[in-house]
Structure formats: C-alpha cells, structure tokens
Amino acid sequence: MALSGADPSLFERVLEDLDPEVSAAIDGELARQRSTLDLVASESVPPRAVLEAQGSILTAKYADGYPGRRDYDTCEWIDEIECLAIERAKALFGADHANVQPYSGSSANAAVLHALCEPGDVVLGFDFAHGGHPTHYAAATFAGRNYRALAYHVRRDNRLVDMDEVETLARRHRPKVLFAGWSCYSRHLEFARFREIADEVGAALVVDMAHFAGLVAAKVHPDPVPFADACTMTVHKTLGGARGGAILCRREIAERVDAAVYPGEQGCPLPNVTAAKAVTFRLAGTDAFRERMERTLQGARTMAEVLVEAEDRTKAHVVTGGTDVHQLLVDLAPGGREARTTLGRLNKIGISANAIALAYDPRVEPACSGLRFGAMALACRGFGREQFAQVADILSDALANGGEDPGGSLAERVAELTSEMPLYRHLA
Ligand SMILES: *Cc1c(COP(=O)(O)O)cnc(C)c1O
C-alpha cells in the first residue's frame, strides 16, 4: 500500500483500517490473553488509564534532559508530567531522589553501574541460574563486559541466598557495587545483612526490586529503601503499569545517577511512558492497589499450599516449601520431567508460565527442571483465593500427568475460569 504524506486522512484513520495486518495481530494477542491463565510472574494487566497515557500524543515529543534543564524549549507540559512522576515515586517509596527515565529495568541497572563504577571495577551479583538477573554480572551483558563481575549463589541445603558466601566474596574481592535482587526466587532477602557487608567492604548496595517493587509500594514486603544506596525497578511487573524502569537513590549520589541515565546511557526520555509511569505511581498508592497486592500474595501462597499437598502425586517439589512473594518455583527433577516440554503441554491447556534453570539443576541448558508460577496477572484480573485454589488444582492434575490433558477436561476448566473472570472488559 502506498502511504501518501499528502493524504490528511493518513493521520486520522484507525489502525484496523490503515494496517489490517498489525491490527489483526493485536486482536489475536488480546484473544490469547483473554483465554489464557497467565502465570508468567513478570506479567501484569496495565489499567486502561496507563495504556491511554502510554499511547498518547506525547509520543513524538523531544525533551532531552531533566525538568527545568532541557535541551529543547517547549517542554513545559513534559516537565509537569515528569515532575509528577518523580514526586509520586519519591512519596510512594519514601526515597530522597527518583529518576523515572530508564527505558527498562535493564537500562536502570546499566545506569546505576555507570554511576557507581569505573570500567573494570568489581561488581558482585546473584547468579542467574540461582535466581538473579543477568544484568547484575553475566558475561553476555554490559555488566560482565564492562566490569569484573562475580556471582554469589543459594545454599544447596535450603535454597536460600548464601549470605556467608556473599560476605566471603565481598571481603576477598571488595566490589564497588553489591547487587541484591532477583527474578526467580520466592523468599525475602536479608537487606540488613547485605547493608552490613556492603559497609564493611566499602561497596554501594543496589537493590534491584524489578519484581517486588509493587509489593514494597503496598507495604507487604520488607522495605529495601532505607538499606540501599540505590534501588532499581521495573514499572511493569508487580507495579502493574507503564512499560519501563526507574531508579531511587540517596541524595548524595542523585547527580551521578541522573548524569548516568542521561546523557550517560540514554537519549531522550519517552514522555508518553513517563506519563504512564506517573499514573502507575498514583495508582500504586491507593487502597485498591494494596488490596490487589495482598490478594496476589495470598494467591501465590494458596497455589504453593495446594502444590505442596499434591507433591506425592505430581513428583513436583515446591522449592523452599512455599513462598513469601508473588511467585513460586517448582522443581520437576524428583519426577524426572523436563520443564520446557512440560510447559509446552501446559500451554496447550491454556496456561502460560516460565521454564527456568534451578540452582544445582541436574539438567544442562537449554533443558531445565524448573517452572515459575506467578499470581500477579491473575490477581489483576480479579482472581481471589477460591480461583487460585482452582488454578492450583488444574496445575497439580496436569503435573501429575507430565503436563498432559488426555481427556481435555483441564482445558475446559481453564476455559471456564477465563470466561468467568474476563479481561479488558472495555475493549471489544
Ligand atoms: C525483569 C528484570 C530486569 C529487567 O527488566 P526489563 O525491563 O525486562 O529490562 C532486571 N532485573 C530483574 C531482577 C528483573 O527481574
């Protein structure tokens, strides 16, 4: 199709009419989301108001710099929006300073390392296969490429972060930055002990709360802010909103963090996303958000309880025997099942989740033994204890059968639950 710049209707035609291919793919994805039990722990359901802001006319605006000191004029409304986002983030988390420009959680980590380290400095993070995130240390990322990055692990006996190893590695290698934070872990971290170790060796403590920022905002998780020099986060995981990252930090390093985000690691911020972040931070201060986070925790606990109860039948072990957060990890090794194959079968029933390598996994990548189930997306959809118990029943019946659904009855139960609890009611 020829797109003519002279055709004024180009700017007014709806997507369905202008680009039926992309439009149909979005509709397809909406239908998939509606009919799926989403147990992907990093996914949520952004509210309509967040989508509205993120898809707004702010999209094209250039605004390099920070409120009151931009490289472009005509940023008065962008300044207002960014100030709202900053003030709301600071109030929500009780932080000295907030930078709301990072494009993602990964960019937030890159900026914090940029602010606090010189290339070649030692960084200590949590091993990916043990629950950490690659952007803390892994060779394939900027962290491993630019810094001398080392990793700590969980203990073999209780699968909790080995704080003695953190201490030993920190004393021996004296990192500039010590990361605390996880993607695949189901227990609280010992922030006070991390702080002690960081102080002893002169490291900055960075808490990456990409996954649990929403729980912290709702005060249903220990608060890392008083312990950390900086906290990085995503705004789209448990915070449930705009697609992007943010950084909180102590006053003393605020200037360095701001300079590391822009111009250090990024160009112009995304004003449409900044607006959606401001809306997200506002929503995260409400009672409704807190109630949803409580229901999320309760949902994860309920699923863990049902799956622990069913362990004899499923031969799938709930790692650490339960959860303190919005997700749980399940180890398929006792039944000898491979996680990616099993997940493929769960997908056919209408369940999405993640296959993950677990600490001390007997399988070699890309094969793995772990499944991660999160409760957040379903809690956004309105699921409560009763529905989460049904989800867990479906999961345990499937896992007892290697993920298969021979009679099709599990797929039917999924279809019933997803139609009882509709998604995006305002959309056609
Ligand atoms: C998801 C995640 C990130 C990365 O966030 P993106 O927005 O996907 O780049 C960083 N750290 C942790 C701990 C995460 O779980």
pLDDT, one tens digit per residue, over 281-329 is 999 999 999 999 999 999 999 999 999 999 999 999 999 999 999 999 9
Region 388-392: mean pLDDT is 98
Asked if residue 3 has pLDDT above 90, the reply is: no
Is residue 139 very low, low, confident or very high in pLDDT (cuts 50, 70, 90)? confident
Q: Is 133 in the pocket of ligand 1 (CB under 6 A)?
A: yes
Q: How confident is the model at residue 6 (pLDDT cuts 50, 70, 90)?
A: low
Distances (CA, A) of 211 to 40, 184, 203, 240, 391: 12, 9, 23, 10, 22
Structure-block tokens of residue 235: 């705004």
Taking the centre of ligand 1 as the mean of its atom positions, its distance from the CA of residue 127, in whole angstroms, is 14
**What confidence tier does 2 reach under pLDDT thresholds 50, 70, 90?**
low
Whose C-alpha lies nearest to ligand 1, atom 10? Answer: 105
Question: In this structure, what DSSP letter does residue 321 have?
Answer: G
DSSP-derived 3-state class of residue 352: strand
* Chain centre distance of CA 329: 15
46-95 confidence digits (pLDDT tens): 999 999 999 999 999 999 999 999 998 899 999 999 999 999 999 999 99
153-176 pLDDT per residue, tens: 999 999 999 999 999 999 999 999
Residue bearing the CA closest to ligand 1, atom 6:
105
Q: Indicate the SS3 state at residue 388.
A: helix
Nearest by Cα to 72 from 84, 60, 83: 60
Residue type at position 262: Y
Ligand 1 atom showing the smallest separation from residue 132 Cα? 13
Pick from 386, 285, 302, 398: which is nearest to 342 by CA? 398
- For ligand 1, whether the C-beta of 61 sits within 6 Å is no
Other C-beta atoms lying within 10 Å of the C-beta of residue 124: 27
Calculate mean pLDDT across residues 183-188: 98
The Å distance, Cα 237 to ligand 1 centre, comes to 9
Closest atom of ligand 1 to 104 CA is: 7
CA of 254 to the centre of ligand 1 (A): 22
Which spans in 175-286 are helix H?
191-201, 213-217, 254-259, 271-283
- In ligand 1, the atom with minimum distance to the C-alpha of 208 is 13
Q: Is the CB of residue 131 below 6 angstroms from any atom belonging to ligand 1? A: no
Predicted local distance difference test score (pLDDT) of residue 198: 98
Q: 181 CB under 6 A from ligand 1?
A: yes
Which of ligand 1's atoms lies nearest the C-alpha of 237? 1
Q: From ligand 1's centre to the CA of 1, what distance in Å?
A: 38
Tell which atom from ligand 1 comes closest to the C-alpha of 136: 11
Straight-line distance from the first to the last Cα atom of the chain, in angstroms, rounded to the nearest whole number: 27
**Is the minimum distance from the CB of 208 to ligand 1 under 6 angstroms?**
yes
Determine the atom of ligand 1 nearest the C-alpha atom of 245.
7
Q: How far apart are CA 277 and CA 279, in angstroms?
A: 5
Band of pLDDT at residue 5, cut at 50, 70 and 90 = low
| Number of other CB atoms surrounding residue 375 within 10 Å | 28
Is there an atom of ligand 1 within 6 Å of 134 CB? Answer: no
Ligand 1 site, residue 105, Cβ cutoff 6 A: yes
Q: Model-level pTM?
A: 0.96
Query: For ligand 1, is residue 352 a contact (CB within 6 Å)?
Result: no
Q: What is the CA radius of gyration of the chain?
A: 22
